[in-house]
Amino acid sequence: MNRQPAVLGQMVDTMLSRCRAAGLNVTPQRVAIYRALLEATDHPTPEMLYQRVRPTMPSLSLATVYKVLEALAELGVVQEIAVRNDNKRYDGNMERHHHLVCSKCRKTTDLYDADLDAVEPPSSLKGFRAEAVTVQITGLCSACAPPKGKAR
């Protein structure tokens, strides 16, 4: 992410306050994994973070990396990118369309919208050859949205 060290420390501080606010312990593992993620530029997988942190923390286990990332995501200081990844999902629809993704039940719905179709990639993609633009809107679907205590 190419941050200044000072900014990085500040982000760690924020993370620590949120841990405390949520009643979570501050552990060296949490700090190390979070720092490693902040320093990364490549959207690392849990396994990748594990490899990166282990040299300075040999006792670290992969299961802990999974648990820490889950906790950090819940704190809102880290995000799982793209659609929350459970298993493969297919679409027989090759028309231009977009997706509504429920962050709770993960249901994905097609969305057709001419305005969104009109979204153009920026010209400054430095070497990246754009082929398709898809807009993904995350939020709560009608079943999960109202506080009617439904899904879990």
Partner DNA sequence: ATATATGCAAAGCTTTTGCTGAAGA
Partner DNA sequence: TCTTCAGCAAAAGCTTTGCATATAT
> Least distance from C-beta 86 to DNA, angstroms?
7
What SS3 state is found at 149?
A: coil
| Torsion sign, CA atoms 29, 35, 39, 43 | positive
User: Is there binding between residue 70 and DNA (CB under 7 A)?
Assistant: yes
Cβ-based neighbours of 134, under 8 Å, separated by 6 or more:
97, 98, 99
User: Is there binding between residue 67 and DNA (CB under 7 A)?
Assistant: yes
Which residues are at the interface with a second copy (CB under 8 A)? 1, 11, 34, 37-38, 40-47, 49, 69, 73, 76-83, 85, 87-94, 99-103, 107-111, 113, 115-116, 119-122, 125-142, 145
101: its two tokens: 């993704």
Residue 9 binding target from a second copy, DNA, none, CB below 5 to 8 Å by type: none
